[in-house]
Structure 1
Amino acid sequence: MKKSERRAQILLELKLHPHVRISELAERFGVSTETIRRDFDALSDDGLISRAHGGASAPSHGHYPSLDERANARIEQREGIGRRAAQLVQPGETLMIDSGSTTIQCARALAYLGTPCTVLTNSLPVAMTLGHGAAQVILCPGEYLPAESAVVGADTLEFLGRFSVDRCMIGASALSAEGPSETVQGFAAVKRQMIRRSAKATLLVDSEKFAKRGLVHVGALSKLDTVVVDRAPTGGLHDALSDAHVTVIVA
């Protein structure tokens, strides 16, 4: 069994049982307990499981505003960021756009500009926004999150891994000197995969999220090429972005 298949089976087990044990899964899959621990570490880093003594459980969900709630907050700032980010896209480019209230604004701006491009996305609103215009849209498969109108999970990551694109446009729950981070379960893994498969990575984030940390770390600032914001970062975040040679664009 391939690593990706084994990890998908682990996630399936957690849908059927509240807790799974390392020793039981090692015996079932015919692998060492260390192999299962590495699987657990990877799935935990992606926010897909919660580690527990001797095993793992499904992730616990604290309160985090839904996509609809976030879409109605700081609208002016996010619209400005989305418009400026859309201007970076050149005709004919290939893109990955992840789910989020600010990336939806970017999709709306791209649709308004009529920029011909190819877009892969895990977001239904992004796909629907761009699907009737000049863009060719490819929608990822995966596990559907109703509150986010998006898909995540092993199938989403495997699908994204088949493509190489010119640029990705991603959002984040928070941005600190350590890099962007995410609160929605499974989103961090999608963002990491999009960054890996893109020649350039652009982060869209409003200043309310500066100097904060989400549940799951996405990656170092050095993984980003550009950050589009509504207000220039200051202090330690400004210095960290400069040291990482990240271009900051203020909308």
Structure 2
Amino acid sequence: MNSVPERIRKSERRAQILMELRWKPHVRVTELAEQFGVSTETIRRDLQEMNEARELDRAHGGASARIPESQPSLDERQTSRVEERERIARFAVRQIADGASLMIDAGASTIALARCLAVADLNLKIVTNSLPVAMILGPAPKIYLRLCPGDLLAPEAAVIGPDTSAYIARHNVDCCFLGASAASDQGISEAIPGFADVKRAMMAQAARSVFLIDHSKLGRNELDRVAGPAPDRAIYTDRLPDPGFAKAWQAGGGELQVIEA
């Protein structure tokens, strides 16, 4: 007799979970259980079934909004435009002073940067939310590294969420190095849920912000706007962008470096 009402409650609960994921990148099992007045096991079953239906992505302690299908996976991005990313990364490393403090976010371009830093023989202090960056730089004898806490976004091998942003806010650094999904005359933007918040948090704690963006991302926009041009912001890219974009970025005081082959 109670099966129909239970199905309705279940349907409404799942609809509300999806609605929450429109506004924040991650939801937690314990918080959802308290919100809906059900057990954590009930929520875990909901999230598992929704994951199997490709409505969301299961993550440690909860679930994350699905990464748009149009966004290539981290593995795919790491195997494309390798030469361009490495050229940008090598240039970026040459701009870093010995003894600098840095923040490095997650993504294929910043992983390329980490590989170059690992052999650069620099004394550095680094804060990152990227597991691959931490794995690459952790063994380097001259690098002191802190890995942010947070909610694991497994497809991107990164942590995100309020705990990540709060941890970042406890630090001050000379420079942050960031990737991005897109850049246009409207600014820099991000497709991956939760990444824009982390980037903005890092920018707030850094004296200078550098975006490592290969040419394939120029002239595009994604949903979450990260930042516009400013005197303390730079874009390093591998090909001269559209003149309109270059003019808009530089008119706002932003630095633009084109590292051609």
Please tell me the TM-score bracket, short chain as reference.
0.7 to 0.9
CA change 1:168–1:17 in 2 (3 A) is: same
Contact 2:231 2:255 in 1 (8 A): no
Q: Do structure 1's residue 126 and structure 2's residue 133 form an aligned pair?
A: yes
CA distance in 1, matches of 2:94, 2:15: 46
Q: 1:242 aligns with which of 247, 250, 260?
A: 250
1:59 Cα offset (Å): 4.0
Q: Do structure 1's residue 149 and structure 2's residue 152 form an aligned pair?
A: no
Q: Do structure 1's residue 19 and structure 2's residue 5 form an aligned pair?
A: no
- Relative to the length of structure 2, the TM-score reads 0.75
Letter in 2 for 1:199: A
Contact 1:195 1:223 in 2 (8 A): no
1:115 Cα offset (Å): 1.3
Q: 1:207 aligns with which of 192, 215, 218?
A: 215
Contact 1:174 1:209 in 2 (8 A): yes
- Relative to the length of structure 1, the TM-score reads 0.77
CA distance in 2, matches of 1:237, 1:120: 31
Larger radius of gyration: 2
CA distance in 2, matches of 1:168, 1:214: 21
CA distance in 1, matches of 2:121, 2:147: 19
Q: 1:136 aligns with which of 140, 144, 162?
A: 144
1:174 Cα offset (Å): 0.3
CA distance in 2, matches of 1:61, 1:225: 27
Letter in 2 for 1:19: Q
| Partner SS state of residue 257, structure 2 | strand
Aligned CA RMSD, in angstroms, stands at: 2.4
What percent identity do the matched residue pairs reach? 37
| Per-residue Cα deviation, 1:126-150 (whole angstroms, up to 9, x for no partner) | 1111111121110000111111111
| Per-residue Cα deviation, 1:177-211 (whole angstroms, up to 9, x for no partner) | 11111111100000000001100000100011111
CA distance in 1, matches of 2:189, 2:100: 27
CA distance in 2, matches of 1:148, 1:60: 11
Unmatched runs of 5 consecutive residues or more in structure 2: 1-12, 28-55, 57-63
Contact 1:202 1:227 in 2 (8 A): yes
